[in-house]
Amino acid sequence: QKEVEQDPGPLSVPEGAIVSLNCTYSNSAFQYFMWYRQYSRKGPELLMYTYSSGNKEDGRFTAQVDKSSKYISLFIRDSQPSDSATYLCAMIGQAGTALIFGKGTTLSVSS
């Protein structure tokens, strides 16, 4: 079992839809959870950062962490065509030296 599992999709939704992206993980030492967005032929950019369990909201984006279930989610409200990208979850423990990434989910939002 890989440390971080993420459904690669692709996921296609119409403009305005609510999108739910998810990752599961196996290492209970992970405490810091991030979502990166990657456009085609570009490097990933940080979208959301969460420490431990709970929710964090930033505009149309909400990140949720459930450490008891080892499950994290990213919700996108009122999705836009500009949200079309690959979304990568990433996580690390306090003693870790490098982020562990999921494989990424490719999202396409059609107008």
Partner 1 sequence: GAGVSQSPSNKVTEKGKDVELRCDPISGHTALYWYRQSLGQGLEFLIYFQGNSAPDKSGLPSDRFSAERTGGSVSTLTIQRTQQEDSAVYLCASSRGRPDNSPLHFGNGTRLTVT
The reply to whether 45 sits near partner 1 by the rule CB under 8 A is yes
Q: In the complex, what is the shortest distance from the CB of residue 106 to partner 1, in angstroms, rounded to a whole number?
A: 11
Comparing CB distances to partner 1, the nearer of 18 and 46 is 46
Q: Strands (DSSP E) along the chain, which ranges?
A: 4-5, 11-14, 19-25, 30-38, 45-51, 54-58, 61-66, 71-76, 85-93, 100-101, 105-110
DSSP 42: S
Structure tokens at 95: 């003693």
Choose, by CB under 8 A, the member of 49, 62, 67, 73 that binds partner 1: 49
Restricted to residues 51-110, the positions that interact with partner 1 (CB under 8 A) are 88, 90, 92-94, 96-104
The reply to whether 35 sits near partner 1 by the rule CB under 8 A is no
